[in-house]
């Protein structure tokens, strides 16, 4: 099921499918079927009951409109869903119907389904982020010597390289992706606690049913049910907030560089991409627009989730009910930003000549700092700074190059090495450690230490292995 028109600018097709009505139903059914199978296998419920429940669990057998209506009445999707599933099973086997949802509670099926949806979403997000990183590495390497204006407070500043700029985007996105992977791995844990989080309805069978159920669903088993403990989910949502901010920073830079007055880079175009309904000449930054829209939405959603964390006792009233739409929106917005920036990075065109032309259009005033630092050793920092401020102002007023103004000032000619004045406006001579920093950013996060860092899921498996050895 695709996204509705009103959500078309808030998600991608793969993520819209993951959070579609059918997919949500299938996730809840996966939980109930796994529970029935495990309980039947362990002898907690009759074997034929487990088989019957599994055989009729089909999302097409449910009326989504009715479930949605009844969810609003029941305050949770679990109640009407379990009731509907029970009726479907009853038509096949009245006795088996009595064992649907055995020992579980409505929040178990809702939370477990949510975790299963997040498990499906994880490779989609990580895949698009990995593509973005790969394309940015390529861009950075291709343009390690492509000189452009630095810009501070949106004003022209001493030169940088586009390779360094792309590497900065890369490092932030890679950092976010690594933390997102860890957050996902921490979050993908089973929810199964029964009425008050003690599995009392299953008696002594509770722990072994939970262990087998987690294994069946390929989820980690937490130390205890987490009905009102929402910290893992909160960490995931906050991580998405930071990541969309990093993606938004990249999008903002590209959008600014795409302005007609700047025109240094361009997103990939194509049929129906970046045009205008009235202005044929337009080449709009669509990927950037979608990413910035996501970056604008997500912080408020993060705040909403954090507000909803304060949940009462063993089952929350209001906080938990707020989460599904928040989590769905955050994951889809983050995924949209990741996919959009992957597309932009893959097809981004860079106009090195325009970058040089824009720098040249400043008449060399962006090299005032270089001249000031060269003079500071002889005239002092404050004096040299004042002289260069005056020279830059005269350059702008007269519309001539900074070097011309400086060459007309006796105190400059006397104090400044002629070679420095002659090469003052060569940007490649004033890049400082740009390339060293670029290489550091490219390699950041790819060291052996980072590669060998064990993830939570791996640590969990290692603990289990050591217990078996003992």
Q: Catalytic residue numbers? A: 276, 315
C-beta neighbour count of 189 within 10 angstroms: 22
Rounded Cα distance between 337 and 350, Å, is 21
Pairing of strands 349-350, 147-152: unpaired
Rounded Cα distance between 95 and 92, Å, is 9
How buried is residue 417: exposed, middle or buried, by Cβ count under 10 Å (0-12/13-18/19+)? exposed
C-beta neighbour count of 324 within 10 angstroms: 19
Rounded Cα distance between 50 and 32, Å, is 10
Rounded Cα distance between 253 and 345, Å, is 12
Rounded Cα distance between 406 and 416, Å, is 10
Report CA dihedral (359, 362, 364, 370) to the nearest 10 degrees. Answer: -80
Pairing of strands 155-161, 147-152: antiparallel
- Inter-helix orientation angle 106-142/21-41, to 10°: 120
Residue from 263, 286, 211 nearest 39 by CA: 211
Q: Are 358 and 149 spatial neighbours (Cβ–Cβ below 8 Å)?
A: yes
C-beta neighbour count of 132 within 10 angstroms: 27
User: Would you give the DSSP letter of residue 160?
Assistant: E
Q: Encoding tokens for residue 210?
A: 């939970």
What are the percentages of helix, strand and coil residues in the chain, rounded to 5? 70, 5, 25
Residue from 300, 320, 299 nearest 308 by CA: 320
Q: Rounded to 5 degrees, what angle do the CA atoms 269, 275, 281 make? A: 100
């Amino acid at each position: 099921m695709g996204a509705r028109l009103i959500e078309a600018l808030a998600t991608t097709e793969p993520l819209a499918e993951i959070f579609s009505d059918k997919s949500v139903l299938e996730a809840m059914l996966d939980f109930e079927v796994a529970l029935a199978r495990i309980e039947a296998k362990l002898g907690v419920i009759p074997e034929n009951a487990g088989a019957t429940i599994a055989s009729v669990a089909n999302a097409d057998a449910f009326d989504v409109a009715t479930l949605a209506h009844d969810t609003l009445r029941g305050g949770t999707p679990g109640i009407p869903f379990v009731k509907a599933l029970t009726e479907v099973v009853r038509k096949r086997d009245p006795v088996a119907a009595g064992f649907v949802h055995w020992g579980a509670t409505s929040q178990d099926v809702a939370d477990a389904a949510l975790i299963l949806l997040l498990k499906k979403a994880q490779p989609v997000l990580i895949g698009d982020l990995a593509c973005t990183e790969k394309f940015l590495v390529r861009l950075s390497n291709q343009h390690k010597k492509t000189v452009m204006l630095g810009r501070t407070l949106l004003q022209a500043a001493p030169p940088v390289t586009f390779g360094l700029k792309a590497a900065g985007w890369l490092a932030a996105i890679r950092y976010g992706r690594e933390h997102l992977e860890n957050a996902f791995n921490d979050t993908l844990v089973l929810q199964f606690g029964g009425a008050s989080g003690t599995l009392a309805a299953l008696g002594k069978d509770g722990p072994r049913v939970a262990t087998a159920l987690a294994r069946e669903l390929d989820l980690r088993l937490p130390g205890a049910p987490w009905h009102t403990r929402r910290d893992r989910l909160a960490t995931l949502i906050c991580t998405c907030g930071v990541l969309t901010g990093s993606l938004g920073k990249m999008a903002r830079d590209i959008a600014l560089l795409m302005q007609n007055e700047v025109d240094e880079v361009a997103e990939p175009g194509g049929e129906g991409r970046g045009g205008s309904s009235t202005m044929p000449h337009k080449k709009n930054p669509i990927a950037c627009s979608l990413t910035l829209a996501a970056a604008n939405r997500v912080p408020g959603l993060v705040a909403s989730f954090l507000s909803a964390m304060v949940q009462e006792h063993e089952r929350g009233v209001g906080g938990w009910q707020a989460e599904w739409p928040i989590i769905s929106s955050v994951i889809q917005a983050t995924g949209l930003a990741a996919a959009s920036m992957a597309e932009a990075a893959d097809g981004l065109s860079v106009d090195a000549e325009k970058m040089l032309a824009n720098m040249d259009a400043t008449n060399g005033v962006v090299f005032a700092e270089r001249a000031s630092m060269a003079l500071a050793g002889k005239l002092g920092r404050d004096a040299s700074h004042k002289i260069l401020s005056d020279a830059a102002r005269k350059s702008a007023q007269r519309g001539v190059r900074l070097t011309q103004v400086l060459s007309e000032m006796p105190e400059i000619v006397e104090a400044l090495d002629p070679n420095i004045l002659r090469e003052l406006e060569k940007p490649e001579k004033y890049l400082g450690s740009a390339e060293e920093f670029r290489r550091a950013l490219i390699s950041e996060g790819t060291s052996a230490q980072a590669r060998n860092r064990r993830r939570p899921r791996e640590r969990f498996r290692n603990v289990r292995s050591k217990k078996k050895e003992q």
